[in-house]
Structure 1
Amino acid sequence: MHVESGPAPVRSRPGPADPRPRWYRLSWALPWLLFQFFPVADLVTTDRPPAVRLAAGAGLVVFTAVYLDVFRRAFGGGGGGSGDRGPVLGRLAVVAGLGLVLAATMGPPWAGLLIYVSAAAAAALPQRWVWPAVLAAAAVCAAVVTLGGDGGPLILPVMCLLTAFALRGTRHLVSVNAELVEARDELARSAVAEERLRFARDLHDLLGHSLSLIALKSELAGRLAERDPARARAEMADVEAAARRALAEVREAVSGYRQVGLALALAEARAALSAAGVGLWAPSAVPDLPGPVDAVLGWVVREATTNTLRHSGARTLTVGLSRSGEDLVLTVTDDGRGPGGPPGAGLTGLAERLRGFGGRLEHGPAPGGGFRLAARLPAADRVGAR
């Protein structure tokens, strides 16, 4: 979002109409109407021809109405679009012209109208024009008070400057608040998009593994149906169990409570690989790990198992867990040909998970042939404290 340096913000794209009531937008201008006590009192108490009184009163009414409209537009009227700049400047010219004429012709009691001119200039003009206009209004106010010859209120020129400072600060706060509101909305949209991406990644990891296992066991059961019905029934029982487990995991993912640990992932991998005739070498016991670390390492094992079943043609999968300096390293190596080609969505999702904990994912050909996947995380005790 871009906001012009002037008082009336100009957004990079049109926004909705300002929902605030008109009285709220005018509230910035209403306190300054107290200074009209002096010209009104002078209009009532000073003996002047009726025509002069009528003209001055009419000019004061028009001055006040246009002044309030300047503030209504400058502080959000019309949706804050750039199309309001022309009408605001035109009305500001009317305010300035009437203020100068009334102050110069009616004398020092009317010099306070130049305070309104300063306030309107500070609220509506771009930054580069504000202070020349304010200084000019203060100079005219000082001249009217001084040339009046009756020792008028010399505080009025100072009030022109102070009022401009106050309105510039108010205008800045309104613009910053508009930026903060838009930034908050943008952050909310980004959070929603990030959550959608996370949920899609979780579903890919969950269903990719489970459906691969179901497809493999179903194929095996089909081959065994005639020559070994008992074994086929056992495989189909595993298919049913895997389907139910996948359904439960998807429900937990939707509820936001699903977590796949390393030990569970190794047990699932052993069952899936055994059905495919692939041997698994893995630690017999998994050390206690912080919940987030345990979950992310479980995802690494699941993804590696899925890739082995789908792509590698391996006969053996080896899982190792060790420390390297201050890092905790989980390696998964097979003796097949590997997935080949660029990393898929699964490996990309794993890399994103690990980066969230300050870790990284390494993958590529294994030294003795096959494919190697390594997940490096900061030491478990430090990760758990994150």
Structure 2
Amino acid sequence: MGRPSGWWRGKSTPAKVDTYTRWSFHFFSLLEAASIGLPVFGNMPAPRSWVVFLLVCGHSVFCAVTASRTLDWTRGTREQPRRTLLALAVATCGVVVVGTVLSGAPWLPADDDAFLVASSLLVGVTAFGAGTVALGTRDRRRMTYVVLGAAAGAGAVSLPLGFAGPAALVTAVIVLLTGGLLTSTAAFSVWLLNAVYELDEARETRARLAVAEERLRFGRDLHDVMGRNLAVIALKSELAVQLARRGRSEAVDQMTEVQRIARESQREVREVVRGYRDADLAGELAGAQGVLAAADIDCRITGTAAELPAQVQSALGWVVREATTNVLRHGNARRCALSLRVTRERVTLTVENDGVPREAGPGPGPGRGSGLAGLRERLEEVGGTLRAGADGEVFRLTADVPLRSAQATRTTSPGDPAPDGPAPAGGEAPGNPSAPSVPHQVREVTP
């Protein structure tokens, strides 16, 4: 990556929250080393202060590693690090005891600076250790037990280390409050991380359900159109066979009727497919603005689609739909601008958005599927062209359609053949020789 901002903006929203959560726990480790380890240099002799400082730093690093592995377990990428959690609990007790002994608190008066060092070690190290261990339990009741156990242990350990009874009680209460705060923060962070991932999965599920619903709708339409006609064709064909075996001339009439019904069915199927493939440009622009606004993306639309040929509106409507899909699925856009410029000679649709992931090459989506390839095929039907690529932090998609070419296409390419004319190969309408297959359209129907 050229810049840190590109690395950050190239991440998806769940990945950003994951990274933020992990580095928050790493910051807790730095906070432990700075707030507990550094003050020992002014309150202890140099040799022992360095030992205590290294112990605290080692404990903070151990907490960071444990938190990272625990988050991996929370996301389901590794097993629960039970041994690591147990080792951290033992290391926390060891650092507290060794650090307190090295501070000299058991042998010095209660008002000495050594007791300040010992108190900070006992409270801080125990609280950070308890908060990290509680992170690996995933259960509120067990988290509570961890915090209560850490507070009781801190109070019990402080007595033989030279703390008076009231001081030991105060120490236990402080550990309870501090450890509870850190544990609550850890639990909330994990809950937020899981919620973001679940929302992202729900969005993907909603998109898949929309595609499945559209497939069912298309299947129902085809069934309604073809079901009765195919049944009639089957019956009349069977009747024609029986009549032909008997040498009856009525067999020719029945086969002529079969041919008529077959052509009628073919025409009805084309109408279903054509209606399915058509997209209203004005409706797509309004829908794109609503969807992007719901995703907290500032969307600006300029221009109007009034009085454009139907074929041009359909082709550009699909461009808007696919561009909106790319903005939502790729990158992390904050702004999107759709501009429609109409002249006598041509109409130009431009879609620009920021938040281009750098690893995407020319921009979000191109070259990674059949979306833009399908758009180029649609625009070629009306003589148009499509350009897409990244310009710095902006991804720009431009569709250009000459109006004269589109009008000529509409005039010279009727939608349906004459009733007695030959059926086109493959069941495609003559005006759509390059139309993609139905499954491809189903995939692109809902952003």
Normalised to the residue count of structure 2, the TM-score between the two structures is: 0.43
TM-score normalised over the length of structure 1: 0.49
Larger radius of gyration: 1
The higher relative CO (CA closer than 8 Å, separation ≥ 6) is in 2
